[in-house]
Amino acid sequence: MPVSRSALERHFAALRACERCPRMVRPPVHGRPVASRVLLVGQAPGDKEPVLGRPFAWTAGKTLFKWFEAALGWTEDEARDRIYFAAVCRCFPGKRPEGGDRVPAPEEIAACSHWLEREFELLRPKLVLPVGKLAIAQFLGERPLVETIGRKFPVEYRGHLANCIPLPHPSGASTWHRTEPGKTLLVQALALLAKEIRE
């Protein structure tokens, strides 16, 4: 039986009250309360997402939703209504002194993993889409992108089994998905995604 919207709203309320990580910049960011069996796991929100109130709300999101439109024919709004958006860390980690976003610390990743575990319990996803190295590592360990993108993996996460199709991070700062072999591997990953969604 699908999880109820009210159960997801309660989950979001608990998430919004979280204060476990003092270095993180609140508020936590979450997607819509979608009872989907497709779970996208990002890395962490950027500085724009807390202000705009949704994950992948800025330039990386534009690229990500272009990928979904190309592979599935879905608009951004349709994708947000059909995919549950989660993340390794739910709050913006802040900026590094030398520029760019800070990578979440291992203890922050561990502290935030509770929310993802709960989402697996609630949603029981059939398909997981980790986006970017940090998210991919939570399911497949640390591996080069060329070994993960363009492939489908069976994964077990805290006792839950699912298929996993990793995607590269759609950041404008990354050239990986715009140059070979990344470009071809991304096309393969999106073809796998389309096949999995249609089955």
User: Are 89 and 49 within 8 A, CB to CB?
Assistant: no
Query: Residue 4: enclosing H or E segment and its boundaries?
Result: none
* Amino acid making up residue 129: L
- pLDDT for the residue numbered 1: 76
- pLDDT for the residue numbered 99: 86
Confidence of residue 109 (pLDDT cuts 50, 70, 90): very high
How far apart CA 125 and CA 119 sit, in angstroms, is 9
Where are the chain's structural domains?
5-198
* Architecture in CATH of 5-198: 3-Layer(aba) Sandwich (3.40)
pTM of the full structure: 0.97
- pLDDT for the residue numbered 172: 84
- pLDDT for the residue numbered 173: 85
Q: Which residues contact 35 (CB under 8 A, 6 or more apart)?
A: 2, 3, 4, 5, 8, 84, 123
- pLDDT for the residue numbered 40: 99
Q: State how far the alpha carbon of 129 is from the alpha carbons of 10, 107, 184, 199, in Å.
A: 24, 23, 18, 16
Enumerate helices (H) and strands (E) in the chain, giving the number of each.
Answer: 7, 5
pLDDT at residue 199 above 90?
no
Query: Residue 160: enclosing H or E segment and its boundaries?
Result: strand 160-164
- pLDDT for the residue numbered 100: 87
Tell me the per-residue pLDDT of 151-190, one tens digit each, with 9 for 90 and over: 999 999 999 999 999 999 999 889 999 999 999 999 999 9
Query: Residue 146: enclosing H or E segment and its boundaries?
Result: none
Tell me the per-residue pLDDT of 84-99, one tens digit each, with 9 for 90 and over: 999 999 999 999 999 8
Would you tell me the crossing angle of helices 182-198 and 59-72 to the nearest 10 degrees? Answer: 60
